[in-house]
Structure formats: structure tokens, C-alpha cells
């Protein structure tokens, strides 16, 4: 194994046996009406480890509730405050109970009971300060790449994404899987024409059927919409077909066997490489679209337990994530130079012949270990803490088509 | 990078990707290329593909070592490979798009 992949660092031990690379207080709002109060609690706590997530809808949605629960159970989260208005369907009390069952300091209240905006904010800020104190006592434990879950997606792609950015991620994912870690890739709508390639890598016949089912569902979705995940800008930039764009996207999965398909908010049940399916399932209300934004994709990867998320971009992007540090990787050296304050990693070196792909993957592994050890990613240092939780329908939170 | 340069991803590929705007003449090949140079016959925009050899009509366009579509007419080695000479095996709509801008021509604006 290479030097970078043998690195170890101290993480945070959680009651469920998982290990986190951050120790964050999560403030969760349960309806849009509670967002301002929750957001002010985070702002007034003035601590980089206090984060906001929430669901806007007043009517609850199983998909969205599952996602909040998975973020609460995420190993980077140490404590949870759930804030509701007082008349919504989503129940902050039950969310706080899930956090408490995970051994995390937890509390909840309704703004109506707390006496309005100002009183609710001061109550929340006081609780968060106590929680930050309590989190100092979380036991530290040695972590290696075998403990890490890393998710990857791409956004703002150009011709370099499939030549360098996604390829270096694929090489790194091979190393991560070989080291006993867990890698998650998504964007099945960008695997058109590649069902044979994905199913040939299935770990067993059942996973092969799962992958085919997931692919067929996504292709059916594209056929009905008469729209594939490729845009005028992609064609103008030299991509000629969805298959070409797809192969450029799928290479970020590397070459190792695929362990199974995760639906959103399901955690992988064992290490290795997994496909995350964020395509909605057929449903009479038809709500939910596949990739509403890069932030939704990153939130989905985090809800599957990703400690760190990769965003591969050609044209450039600035976003981060509330729970998992976001590492922005570009294969475009010009984009890297132009947006140096936001871009974490330049894989464009490989296109100039200045670095081999293996050396580039090794450099990425070192950066991942630095960030796992506590060094902030660029978006983390800039205060980017995006999340995007939407109404969607999926058959089951669990990943399997059939019962275990 | 001012000289003519293109990138070959897989040894089996019959196309390479332009790393800068290419003018007719010699092109240096980086990546997993079988040869270190090729010759092109027409200008090719950055990020677009050039044929590494003659590709008969109907044959697969190979990139990443796999077919990314098929040739809709015979393509001469050294020429530009895009929507005017190739098409997706899946996406019917994309063969109607404008070759330079990618803009759709099958939606009416009136």
C-alpha cells in the first residue's frame, strides 16, 4: 500500500461503533416557519462546529424525514437540537429522541411554547453552548482509511471532468476500497448505455439484478421526459453523446466490484464500492426530480454516511456541505487558477503531462487524510454549509429490492 | 500549452480529445496513445474529438475503450468527430442539435 493510504489520525468515537472526523452540533428545523430561529441560533453560537439543516415542508414526507434521521445519526454529528414552530407534521421531539438513543446530547422545543423568536433563540443558543462543552468529552479513537466513507458526484462538468477530474477520483476510490474503506458514487442518469459495464462489476447475481433495475428505472425516466442528463453547454464543449458524458462520469467509480445499490438515507452495510440511487420511484403524485442541484446530491451522499464528499467540476463551483467537508476537484487547470480560493485540488496536472495519474491519486489521498485529521477544506473554511432536502418518493429507505 | 495537443484515454480508442484549439497539421498525443503524433486535416475546437484513423459508417466511436455512439457516415482519419458525423445509440434528440452551439433546433420560439 502507498504511504498516504497507511496514514492514521484521531477521530470521534460514537456509541454505535462508528467514528466521526468532525464533532458537530446539528441544529435541525422541522418546517420553514422555524428556519429563521434555527439559523439565528447557529449564527449567534459563533462556532464553526454548529451547523444548520432542516426540511421546509409543513406536511411531512417519509423520504425527507429519513434524510433528517440519517444526518442526525451521521458520525460527524455529536449533538442535536431540533427546533419546531409547533403546528407542523414533522416532530422535533422524535428527532431529538433518535439522537439521544445514539448517545448524543439532544434537546428540542417548539417556538410557540418558548415564547416567540427572541426567547427561542436565547434558549437555543444557551443549549448549544452547553452542548459544545459536553462534546469536549467525546472519546478520541484512532481512524484509518478503512473507517472512512467517501461520496463523489460531479457538477459543472466540462471536457476535463472525464479526462482528469473523475479519473483521479476513480483511481483514489480503488485505493480506498483496497484499504478496506467505503466509496459511494451516484448519478445513475449519467450511466446511459453503460448498464453492461456496471452489471459486469456486480459482486453477486442479486446485486447484478439491483443494478439493472436501477438503470432501467433511470433510463425509463429519461425516455419519458425525452431528456437525458446532457445540456447544450456539454455539446458545445465537445461532448457528442450521453454515452460519452456517461463514461466520463462513471469512471469516478474506479474499477472495483459494486457491493449494491443504496437508496437515499441508507447506510452501506459493509465496506466497498456502492451506487447511490437518487432517482424517484414511480408514484401517483410524481414528485421529486433526479438531480435538482449539486447541493441535493451532496446532501444525499452525506445521508449515506459519507464523512467527506467530493465534487468534481470543470467549470467551477463554490458550494460546501453542512456535515461532511466538501473537497472540490477540477481537471481544468485554468478553472483551478481562476477560482483558487474555492478549488481544493487540481487534477489538470495530468493533462499537461506534469504528473502521472497514480501520483495525482496519491496526492489526493494525502489531502483526504489531512482533512480527516481536521484541516478544513476550502469551502469549510469559507463558511459554506449548504444542504438541500426536498419532497421526493422512494419505495423504501433500505437499499435492497428484496427483503434480506 | 500553445502547441497542438490532444489526449488519448484508452489504447483502444479511435478518437482523441483536443486539449487546445487545434489547427490543421501535426498534433502531439498525450495519455495512453499508441503513437506520439498524428496529423489532422481541419480545425478542431478545444475539448472536441479528432479521428485517430478512418472510421467506416456504422462503426462504433470508441473513447474510454467503449462505444460512445456510432459513425453516421464514413469518417476520415484526422477529421473532426461530432454531431455531424456521429450519433448516440440512445438519445434521439441530440442528433438534431446545432453542431457548434449544441442549441436545440426542435423547439419552436414563436
Computed over its alpha carbons, how large is the radius of gyration of chain A?
Answer: 21
Between chains, do A247 and B45 touch, taking CB under 8 Å as contact?
no
What does the alpha-carbon distance between residue A240 and residue B86 come to, in Å, rounded to a whole number?
Answer: 8
- Mean local confidence (pLDDT), A107-127: 96
- Range name among A21-30, A92-101, A285-294 with the lowest pLDDT average: A285-294
For chain B, the average pLDDT equals 90
As for the ipTM of the complex, it is 0.83
Using a CB–CB cutoff of 8 Å, tell me whether B40 touches chain A: no
**Based on the domain organization, do A212 and A354 belong to the same domain?**
yes
For residue A391, being part of any structural domain is answered with no
The 3-class SS string of A205-255 reads HHHHHHHHHHHHHHHHHHHHHCCCCCCHHHHHCCCCCHHHHHHHHHHHHCC
Regarding whether A153 and A130 lie in a shared domain, the answer is: no
In this prediction, residue A400 has a pLDDT band, given cuts at 50, 70 and 90, of: very low
Q: By the 8 A CB rule, do A280 and A287 touch?
A: yes
Whether the CB of B48 is below 8 Å from some CB of chain A: the reply is yes
Convert the pLDDT of each residue in A357-388 to its tens digit.
999 999 999 999 999 999 999 999 999 999 99
Q: Does a structural domain hold residue A82?
A: yes
Helices (H) and strands (E) in chain B, counts: 0, 9
Residues A193 and A271 in one domain: yes
Q: Give the CATH number for residue B70.
A: 2.30.130.110
With respect to residue A355, please indicate whether it lies within any of the assigned structural domains: yes
Q: What is the pLDDT of residues B30-76, one digit of tens each?
A: 988 889 999 999 999 999 999 999 999 999 999 999 999 999 999 99
Q: Cβ distance A131 to A25 under 8 Å?
A: yes
Q: Pick A242's closest partner by Cβ from B19, B81, B90.
A: B90
The pLDDT value recorded for residue A32 is: 92
Cβ contact A243–B89 (<8 Å): yes
Residue A166: the pLDDT is 94
Query: Residue B1 pLDDT more than 60?
Result: no
pLDDT digits (tens, 9 = 90+) for A130-149: 999 999 999 999 999 999 99
Number of domains in chain A: 2
C-alpha cell at A38: 434555527
Facing residue for B90 by CB, picked from A163, A193, A232: A193
How big is the A-B interface in CB pairs under 8 Å?
Answer: 103
- Interchain CB distance below 8 Å, B49 and A238: yes
Range of the domain at A131: 24-137
Q: What's chain A's average pLDDT? A: 92
Q: B101–A236: do the CB atoms touch at under 8 Å?
A: yes
CB-CB under 8 Å, B18 with A192: no
CA distance B72 to chain A (A): 12
Angle at CA A155, nearest 5°, toward A153 and A160? 95
- The answer to whether residue B75 sits within a structural domain is yes
> Is-contact A153 A341, C-beta < 8 A?
no
Residues A61 and A178 grouped into a single domain: no
DSSP E strands, A86-209: 106-110, 140-144, 149-154, 182-185
Task: Mention every residue, 6+ apart, whose C-beta is less than 8 A from residue A76.
Answer: A20, A21, A22, A23, A24, A307, A323, A324
Q: Based on the fold, state whether residues A127 and A159 are members of the same structural domain.
A: no
Q: Which residue has the higher pLDDT, B34 or A78?
A: A78
Q: Give the pLDDT score at B95.
A: 66
B30, B46, B91 ranked by CB distance to A228: nearest: B91
The Cα–Cα gap between A358 and B21 comes to: 27
For residues A289-305, give the mean pLDDT: 87
- Number of other residues whose CB lies within 10 A of the CB of residue A40: 19
**A194 vs B contacts (CB less than 8 Å):** 66
Q: Does the pLDDT at position A398 exceed 60?
A: no
Band of the pLDDT at A25, cuts 50, 70, 90?
Answer: very high
Per-residue CA distances from A151 to A148, A238, A372 (Å)? 10, 27, 14
- Strand (E) positions, A95-136? 106-110
**Residue A188 and residue A218 in one domain:** yes
User: Rounded to an integer, what distance in angstroms lies between the CA atom of residue A335 and that of residue A394?
Assistant: 36
pLDDT of residue A401: 42
Q: Which domain holds residue B52?
A: 5-96
In this predicted structure, what is the pLDDT of residue B2?
55
CA dist A271 and A269 (Å) reads: 7
Amino acid at each position: 500500500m502507498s504511504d498516504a493510504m497507511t496514514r492514521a489520525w484521531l477521530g470521534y468515537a460514537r456509541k454505535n461503533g462508528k467514528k466521526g472526523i468532525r464533532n458537530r452540533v446539528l441544529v435541525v428545523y422541522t418546517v420553514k416557519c422555524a428556519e429563521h430561529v434555527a439559523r439565528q441560533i447557529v449564527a449567534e453560537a459563533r462556532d464553526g462546529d454548529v451547523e444548520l439543516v432542516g426540511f421546509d415542508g409543513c406536511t411531512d414526507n417519509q423520504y425527507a424525514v429519513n434524510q433528517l434521521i440519517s444526518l442526525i445519526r451521521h458520525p460527524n454529528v455529536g449533538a442535536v437540537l431540533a427546533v419546531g414552530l409547533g403546528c407542523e407534521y414533522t416532530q422535533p421531539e422524535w428527532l431529538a429522541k433518535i439522537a439521544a438513543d445514539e448517545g448524543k446530547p439532544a434537546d428540542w422545543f417548539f417556538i410557540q411554547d418558548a415564547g416567540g423568536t427572541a426567547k427561542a433563540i436565547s434558549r437555543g443558543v444557551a443549549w448549544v453552548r452547553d452542548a459544545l462543552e459536553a462534546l469536549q468529552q467525546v472519546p478520541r479513537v484512532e481512524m484509518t482509511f478503512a473507517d472512512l466513507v467517501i461520496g463523489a458526484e460531479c457538477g459543472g462538468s466540462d471536457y476535463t471532468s472525464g479526462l482528469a477530474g473523475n479519473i483521479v477520483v476513480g483511481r483514489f476510490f480503488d485505493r480506498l476500497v483496497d484499504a478496506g474503506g467505503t466509496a459511494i458514487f451516484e448519478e445513475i442518469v449519467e450511466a446511459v448505455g453503460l448498464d453492461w459495464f456496471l452489471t459486469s462489476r456486480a459482486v453477486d447475481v442479486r446485486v447484478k439484478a439491483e443494478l439493472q433495475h436501477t438503470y432501467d428505472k433511470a433510463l425509463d425516466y429519461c425516455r419519458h421526459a425525452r431528456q437525458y442528463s446532457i445540456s447544450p453547454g456539454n455539446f458545445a464543449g465537445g461532448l457528442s453523446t450521453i454515452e460519452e458524458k456517461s463514461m466520463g462520469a462513471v469512471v469516478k467509480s474506479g474499477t472495483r466490484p459494486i457491493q449494491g445499490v443504496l437508496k437515499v438515507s441508507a447506510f452501506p452495510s459493509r465496506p466497498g464500492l456502492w451506487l447511490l440511487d437518487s432517482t424517484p420511484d414511480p408514484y401517483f403524485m410524481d414528485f421529486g426530480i433526479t438531480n435538482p442541484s449539486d447541493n441535493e446530491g451532496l446532501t444525499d451522499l452525506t445521508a449515506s454516511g459519507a464523512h467527506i464528499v467530493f465534487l468534481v467540476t470543470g467549470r467551477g463551483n463554490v458550494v460546501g456541505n453542512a456535515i461532511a467537508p466538501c473537497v472540490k476537484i477540477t481537471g481544468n487547470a485554468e478553472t483551478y487558477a481562476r477560482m483558487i480560493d474555492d478549488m481544493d485540488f487540481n487534477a489538470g496536472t495530468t493533462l499537461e503531462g506534469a504528473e502521472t495519474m497514480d501520483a495525482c491519486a496519491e496526492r489526493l489521498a494525502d489531502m483526504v487524510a489531512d482533512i480527516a485529521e481536521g484541516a478544513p477544506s476550502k469551502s469549510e473554511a469559507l463558511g459554506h454549509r449548504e444542504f438541500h432536502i426536498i419532497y421526493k418518493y422512494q419505495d423504501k429507505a433500505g437499499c435492497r429490492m428484496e427483503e434480506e | 500549452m500553445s502547441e497542438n495537443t490532444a489526449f488519448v484515454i484508452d489504447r483502444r480508442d479511435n478518437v482523441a480529445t483536443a486539449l487546445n484549439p487545434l489547427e490543421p497539421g501535426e498534433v502531439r498525443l498525450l495519455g495512453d496513445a499508441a503513437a506520439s503524433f498524428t496529423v489532422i486535416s481541419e480545425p478542431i475546437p478545444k475539448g472536441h474529438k479528432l479521428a485517430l484513423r478512418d472510421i467506416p459508417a456504422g462503426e462504433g466511436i470508441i473513447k474510454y475503450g467503449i462505444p460512445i455512439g456510432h459513425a453516421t457516415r464514413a469518417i476520415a482519419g484526422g477529421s473532426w468527430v461530432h454531431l455531424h458525423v456521429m450519433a448516440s445509440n440512445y438519445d434521439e434528440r441530440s442528433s438534431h442539435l446545432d453542431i457548434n452551439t449544441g442549441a436545440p433546433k426542435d423547439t419552436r420560439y414563436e
